[in-house]
Amino acid sequence: MVVFHKDPVGIVTFVGVEILLLFGDLGGVSVVIEYGKHEERWRTVAALFLHFLYAMAVISHLRASFSNPGYVPRSRIKVDFSSDLDNKERPKRKKEPPGIDQWTVCTKCETYRPPRSHHCRICGRCVRRMDHHCPWINNCVGELNYKYFFLFIAYVDVMCGYGLILILMDWIQNWHIDQGPMDRILTILLFFCAIIFGMFVGGMVLAQVMSVLCNRSAIEIRRYGRPMGFPTTPKLMLIAGVCGRGSKLFWIFPCIKAQIPDPVPPNDKFNDINQFV
């Protein structure tokens, strides 16, 4: 299922991210292989590794952007709220949010939704284990594309750090070579981009790692608060809940889809499971 949202802000941000990644790859390679002919073999290897990081970041970005984040299936039979209405008025919202592991009802989609699902006003759908709606990927970050989103920001952060090392090595080893003004401007621009985006994305990576280990999404942390300490669930099981139950070797590759089972509805909530499509 290919997902595309006609959100102007999301589309512009998505294109901008792709341009920045391409700029980092081509600019970094030009800085790496243009000078230092005595170390051409090692510089070629370094350039190929930068190409690898760029490819992984782009694939992760595309898969996170166009993959189904985990939309809750729409029901052919809408939930009847007539019994809950008094004098044709909707009941007041409860002050206390429902339990994190409870099935809830979405009044916008008019259907039941699994635990930890939330409604996205931009997508207009309920998303399983929704973390947030990210303009970088023009899509929600949910249960089924969380792996691609995390790999995207992780590879971007590694790419920024690796590019920064290459630039510093280039300055140290080739300071005596007279570079043109455009090369100097390009190098300085790449240097500051690597620092700024590396620190920003690095903070996102750290926040997502803590979110996975705490077993709380960003929405759940705002609603229920961050838990005191880490849950007793094994860390590998928490990671498998994001990256899938397949081989651990495939966790770092965005080409492999995470194998995440579908939630099983409780019998007392539904008379006919086949009503969901």
CA angle 182, 184, 185 (to 5 degrees): 65
Question: What type of residue is 156?
Answer: V
Which of 140, 160, 144 minimizes the C-alpha distance to 28?
A: 160
Q: Which of 171-201 are b and which e, b meaning 16 or more Cβ less than 10 Å from the residue's Cβ?
A: eeeeeeeebeeeeeebbeebbebbeebbeeb
Q: Is 134 a catalytic residue?
A: yes
Q: How far is Cα 90 from Cα 81, in angstroms, rounded to an integer? A: 9
Question: What type of residue is 114?
Answer: P
Ramachandran bin of 152, using left for φ above 0, alpha for ψ from -120 to 50, beta for the remaining angles: alpha
169: which DSSP letter? H
Q: How far is Cα 273 from Cα 216, in angstroms, rounded to an integer? A: 28
Q: How far is Cα 38 from Cα 185, in angstroms, rounded to an integer? A: 24
CA angle 125, 211, 112 (to 5 degrees): 30
249: which DSSP letter? G
Catalytic one of 134, 140, 160, 243 = 134
Residues carrying an active site annotation: 134
